[in-house]
């Protein structure tokens, strides 16, 4: 009986493997830092518009942890997400905000508002950029993974389509330098702002704007 039970358990976990664990501290730290940057950019009476991934169809514990901590950190500072957009994304495709969706969202915003995107920055055509006009909301975006190699983030900063971006570190240290959320953030990510935009890597491939 014991052998049979052991064999049954082995077969179950072989065909239904447990999902790999994630480093919750680093993803919570990312949500915390994004909340800090959002509050810095938020104008008087401004709204926070959050763009995230719908994880019902394709579960993503990392995304869920980041979003949850972001909203929690905002709430602790007396700020809440005004509008939440959860978009269904193909998990194997490059995470980018669809230009049409972004255009509709930004039309309802003003300069005091902040759009926080966990799906990267928007890629707008020149025609769409003209429709946005000069009065644009601030944009904070997670641009982790291979996105900086495929998207010209510096150009987006220049065009005021991006005001703060989180990038992945290529060679993260073995452990965080300290125990604070910022220490865990710095272990795996770095924050790009207009102050250090010159440090942004150039894309490895030509970045084209999508209609």
List the Cα angle 36/41/47 in 5-degree steps: 95
Question: Which residues does residue 53 pair with via DSSP β-bridges, in sequence order?
Answer: 87
Burial of 202 (0-12, 13-18, 19+ CB in 10 A): exposed
Residue-wise pLDDT tens digits, 38-84: 999 999 999 999 999 888 888 889 889 999 999 999 999 999 999 99
Residue-wise pLDDT tens digits, 80-125: 999 999 988 776 666 677 888 888 888 889 999 999 999 988 777 8
Residue-wise pLDDT tens digits, 185-196: 988 999 999 999
SS3 82: coil
pTM of the model: 0.81
Domains delineated in the chain: 24-199 (3.40.50.2300)
pLDDT at 6 over 60: no
The H or E element containing residue 181 is: helix 181-188
As a whole number of angstroms, the distance between CA 66 and CA 32 comes to 8
Please, which residues have CB within 8 angstroms of residue 43's CB and are 6 or more apart in sequence? 111, 112, 113
């Amino acid at each position: 009986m014991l052998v049979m039970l052991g064999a049954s358990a082995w077969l179950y976990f072989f065909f239904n493997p447990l999902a790999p664990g994630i480093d919750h501290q680093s993803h919570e730290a990312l949500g915390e830092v994004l909340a800090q940057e959002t509050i810095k950019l938020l104008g008087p009476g401004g709204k926070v518009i959050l763009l995230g991934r719908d994880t019902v169809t394709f579960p993503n514990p990392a995304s869920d942890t980041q979003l949850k901590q972001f909203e929690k950190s905002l709430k602790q500072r007396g700020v809440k997400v005004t509008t939440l957009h959860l978009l269904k994304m193909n998990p194997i495709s490059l995470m980018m905000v669809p230009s049409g969706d972004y255009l509709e969202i930004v039309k309802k915003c003003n300069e005091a508002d902040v759009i926080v995107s966990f799906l990267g920055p928007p890629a707008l055509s020149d025609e769409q950029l003209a429709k946005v006009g000069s009065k644009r909301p601030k944009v904070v975006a997670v641009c982790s993974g291979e996105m900086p190699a495929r998207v010209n983030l510096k150009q987006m900063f220049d065009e005021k389509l991006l005001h703060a971006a989180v990038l992945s570190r290529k060679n993260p240290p073995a452990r965080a330098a300290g125990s604070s959320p910022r220490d865990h953030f710095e272990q795996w990510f770095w924050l790009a702002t207009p102050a250090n935009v010159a440090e942004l890597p150039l894309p490895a491939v030509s970045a084209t704007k999508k209609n």
